[in-house]
Amino acid sequence: MCIVVEYTNFNSLRFPKLKEWNSCNAGLALKVIGNDDLETIIFDNEIEFYGDHTVHMAEIRGNRRLSRKTIASLARCALSGKVEDLSLLNCDAYYGDIYFNKDVNGEIPTSGSLVDGCLVVKDTLLTDIEFIRSFNFNPSHKCKNDVDRFVVIVVLMGTYFILFSFTAICLKAYISMK
């Protein structure tokens, strides 16, 4: 079953009787785009999505009043610009750009995700962005990943400092053994 709801004035979508939802041959099973008044999408609690790639079964974008909780119920999370808490990066898939700046708190995510968006790192105090390698960026819109040169320099300097410290420790150990 394919359902497309685009640019309407609906404030709620309800699918109370739907228990199983299969992906359709024409593309996404559910596409909800540009509905400025939409506040909720309600499914039965027991709904099961079937298909080869369940995170690609729904595209929900540009619905300004729709809550993050509703979007996350489809295993996709909206990113509202800046990431201030790394522990929020724990969904299977995201739409929106991942944007780091200033100070970022929280634990580094242990696994990556699919991201329909770009990576932007500017003026940040974050010194280790290695965890980003596990994310799969595949934006549906045209964008350019942007990593500030300062971040690259800080990461490289940190690596060089670690190598220098290790060399100094080894040299001290070698001298003390003689």
Domain match, 49 and 84 both = no
Domain match, 85 and 70 both = no
Structural domain that includes position 119: 79-178
Q: What is the C-alpha to C-alpha distance for residues 56 and 36, in angstroms, rounded to an integer? A: 23
Q: How many domains does the chain have?
A: 2
Domain match, 13 and 97 both = no
64 contact partners, CB below 8 Å, separation of at least 6: 36
Mean pLDDT across the chain:
71
Domain boundary among 52, 74, 96: 74
Name the residue with higher pLDDT: 4 or 120: 4
Domain match, 70 and 124 both = no
Name the residue with higher pLDDT: 50 or 58: 58
Domain match, 121 and 143 both = yes
Q: Which helix (H) or strand (E) holds 147?
A: strand 146-147
Q: What is the C-alpha to C-alpha distance for residues 100 and 120, in angstroms, rounded to an integer? A: 6
Instruction: Give the pLDDT confidence score for residue 151 in this predicted structure.
Output: 47
The neighbouring-strand residues paired with 15 are 43
Domain match, 86 and 62 both = no
